[in-house]
Chains A and B, each alone.
Chain A
Amino acid sequence: MSHHEIAVPMKAKFFSTGTKIVFAIMLAGMAAVAYRFIAGLGAATNLDDQYPWGIWIAIDVASGVALAAGGFTTALLVEIFHKDKYHAIIRPALLTAMLGYTFVAIGVTVDLGRYYNIWHVMLPDMWQGNSVLFEVGMCVMIYLTVLYIEFIPVVVERFKGKVNLPSPLSFLNGIIEWFLSIADRTLGRFVSLFVIAGVVLSCMHQSSLGTLMLIAPFKTHVLWNTPISPLLFLLSAIAVGFPMVIFESILASRSFKLKPELGILSSLARYTPALLGVYLGIKIGDITIREAWPAVLESSPQSWSWIVEMVFGVIIPIIILATPRFRKSIGGLFTAATMVILGVALNRINYFVIAYKPVYADYPYFPTFIEILVTVGFISALVLLYRACVMIFPVISVPVGQEPKKEEDGSRITSPF
C-alpha cells in the first residue's frame, strides 16, 4: 500500500492557554463528581422519582456513544470497504471512540446508585436477556475491550524496542517488551476479526439505545415514540461518524499547526448529505405514517426542540455539504460538521429528557449546576486525554517529509492494518 502520509506523535507544548482553561474546568468537574459520590444523587442532581434520568444519561452516555460512532463508520469505510485514501482518519477516529467509550463507562458509573454492583451485569445468573439496558451494557463493555485491542498496534508501533522505564521500574522493561513483541506478531493477523466485531457490536448497541424508551410508550412524547426508533438511532449514529472525524481533524490541525487535509475531508463529507438524507427521509416517513405532524406544530417545548433538531441538525447541514463550494472550504465543513454533531446530541437529549413525560409531572426537569459541571468536566477530560494521546502515540498523519523532528525511528512506521 502506498501511503503518502505517516502517523506521528504531535509535537507541541501540552499546556497552551486553551488547554489550561480546559484543565481548570476538568478539575471543577472532578470536584463535582466527588461531591456526587459523597453526598449522593439527591443532593447533587435534580433527579427524583418523576425524572429518574437526566443529562448524565442523555449527554454523557447516549450522546457519548453516538459521537464515538466515527470509530466504526471509518472502520467500515476504510477497512471493510477498503477506501484506502481515507486511511489517515482511522487512528484519530479509533482514538476518539476508545476515549469516548471510556468516558461513557465512567459516566454510567457516576449515574448508577449502586455502582459497585456494576459487575453483576457480567454474572451469567443475573443475565436478563429481556432488558434492553442489559444488551446496551454488554455491547458497550465488549466493544470498549475491542477498541482497546484495536489500539494495541498503535502502542506497539510507538514503544516496541524502546521500552525504557526509569530505574525503580526498569525490571519491567523486559516483560513489557515481551508483551509488545507477542502482540506485534499475533495481532496483525487477528486485528481484522476485531474490526468486524467492532462494527457488529456498534450496530447492535447504537440501535438498542433507541429501543430503551420503547418500554415506556405512555411516557414518551409522540414525536419520538416510534417502534423504528432503534433504526433511527443507528442511522443517525452512522451519519454523525464522519462529521465527528472532520470536526476533530480541523481542530487538531489548528491546534498542532498542521495544514488541514481539505481534499480528504471534503471528499469524506460527500457521504454525509446522503447518510443524513436517508435518516431524514425515514424520519419524515415515520412521522407521516404515524400521523404525528400535528404534534410538530403544537408549539410545545417538545415540538420546538424537534424542529431545531431537524432543521439545524439535519436539513441545513445537508444543504451546506451538498453545495460543493461550501464543502470544499474549511469554514463550510466545520460549520456543517458542528451542526450535525450538536443535532445528534440534541436528538439524544430530546429522546431521554425532553420527550420524557412522567405520569404525574409536577414540574419540568432541569439539571443542577453540579450535573452540568460533571458533564462539562468529563468533556474537558476527554479533550485533554485526546491531546495527550496524540502527543504520545502516532495517531495523526502528516505528509511524508513534513513530520515534526522526532526520535530516531521515524522510518519504522509500518501500517498494522
Chain B
Amino acid sequence: MSLDRRKFLGITALSSATLLTGSTHAHEIESKTDEVYGVLVDTVVCIGCRKCEWACNQEHGLSDKDLKSYEDKSVFKEHRRPNASAYTVVNEYRDPADSSKAYSMKVQCMHCNEPACVSACIVGALEKNELGSVDYDAWKCIGCRYCIIACPFQVPAYEYENPLTPQIRKCTFCHERVAKGESPACVSICPNEALTFGPRSKLIDLAHSRFKANPGRYHEHVYGENEVGGTSWMYLTAVDTKHTELPVLSAAPLPPLTEIIQHGIFKSFVPPLALYALLGLIMHTIGDKNEEQEVKE
C-alpha cells in the first residue's frame, strides 16, 4: 500500500488520537484515491444549458420532459437541491464583486474519497466503489436516513412519499457506464469542457493547467481536491467558493473521529471486557459486608 504524504500525515495525527481511546486501530483506507475516476466541473466555462440535467433524468428514467423544456432559465431564480427525482441540478452563483457576472454550477453527489455516508450506514448499503462511485444497495437499506445526517454536502435524498419501499436516491456516477469504459451521461452530453471525466489525479493536473493557461479567470483552488479528505467530483470556480453554494469544509475526512471512538470501544472488545471483569470483581469482593454499615445510616 502506497501512502501519499498527506495521507501519511493524517494517519500520524490519528494515531496520536487513538492513544486517547486506548485503541491500536488506526483509520486505514487503501490509498486508491488517486486511481479512482472523477469529474472536474468547471463552472467558469459552464453555460448553464442544463443538458446535463436532461441526460441524467433520461439515463435514470427520472423524467421524460423533452430537452427543449430544460432551456428554461427561470429555474435559476431559486436555489434548487438534488432530490429523490433529480440527481443533479444546475444552479447559478454570482460574483460578489460584480453581480452582473453570473456562473452556473451543476451539483450532485461528490463521491467522496472517504465518504461520511458510507461510514455512517448501519448495514453497509452504501459503498465506495474502486472506480470512484459511491454506490447504494436498496436491498440492504433499512431507511434510517443516518447517511443524510452524515453527508456534509446534503446530498442523499429520500423518498418520503413512498410508504412501503422508500429508497435513498442520489447521483450514481453512472457506475454501469463507467465500468464499461464510458463516461457518465451528463459528461457525454456537455457541449463544452465544463464537465471532464477521467482519473482523478489527471483531473487535478488538468485543473492546474487551466489555472496556468487562464491567469485571473479562476479562483485558483480545486474544490474537492482536499475537502473532507478529497472528493471524486471537483469544482473550479470564478470566485472564492465561500461565495458559492459549496459548503466551507476543512481538509480532514469526517469518518475518522467516530470510527476511532467506535473501534476503541467496540471492535477490539477490550474495554467492554475489562469493564465486565472489573464489575464482576467488585460484585464478588464487596460481597454483603457493607450491609451492617448500611443499616446504621
Contact = CB atoms under 8 A, between A and B. Distances in A.
A360 B79 contact: yes
User: Interface range on chain B: under 10, 10 to 19, 20 to 34, or 35 or more?
Assistant: 35 or more
A54 B282 CA distance: 41
Interface residues of A, number: 70
Contacts of B166: 40-41, 113-114
A327 to B, nearest CB: 14
Nearest to B163: A40
A85 B294 contact: yes
Contacts of B290: 82-83
A227 B255 contact: no
B120 A200 contact: no
Contacts of A230: 261
B227 to A, nearest CB: 11
Contact of B162 (A40, A80, A84): A40
Interface in A20-47: 37-43, 45, 47
B149 A219 contact: yes
Interface in A97-155: 111-115, 117-118, 120-121, 123, 126-135, 137
Nearest to B117: A215
Contacts of B79: 360
A121 B122 contact: yes
B272 A204 contact: yes
A125 B150 CA distance: 22
B175 interface: no
Contact of A204 (B164, B265, B286): B265
Interface in A216-252: 216-219, 227, 230
A218 B262 contact: no
B241 to A, nearest CB: 13
B120 A80 contact: no
Interface in B140-175: 140-146, 148-150, 152-154, 156-166
B291 A82 contact: yes
B142 A115 contact: yes
A196 interface: yes
B266 A129 contact: yes
Identify the interface centre among A1, A113, A217: most chain B CB within 10 Å of its CB. Answer: A113
A166 B288 CA distance: 44
Interface stretch (A206-214, A275-283, A397-405): A206-214
A262 interface: no
B258 interface: yes
A133 B122 contact: yes
A213 B266 contact: no
Interface in B267-297: 267, 272, 275-276, 279-280, 282-283, 286-291, 294-295, 297
A218 B247 contact: yes
B261 A114 contact: no
Given A49-B81, A49-B83, A214-B258, A80 B283 contact: yes
A267 B296 CA distance: 13
A117 B116 CA distance: 22
6 contacts: A49-B81, A113-B162, A126-B123, A128-B124, A204-B272, A216-B152
Given A133-B146, A208-B262, A215-B255, 20 more contacts: A41-B163, A41-B166, A42-B159, A49-B154, A49-B157, A49-B158, A53-B145, A111-B144, A113-B143, A114-B143, A120-B123, A126-B124, A129-B262, A131-B146, A196-B279, A204-B272, A215-B120, A216-B116, A216-B149, A267-B297
- The 8 A-B residue pairs with the shortest CB-CB distance, nearest first, are A113-B143, A42-B160, A40-B163, A114-B143, A52-B145, A52-B148, A359-B154, A113-B166
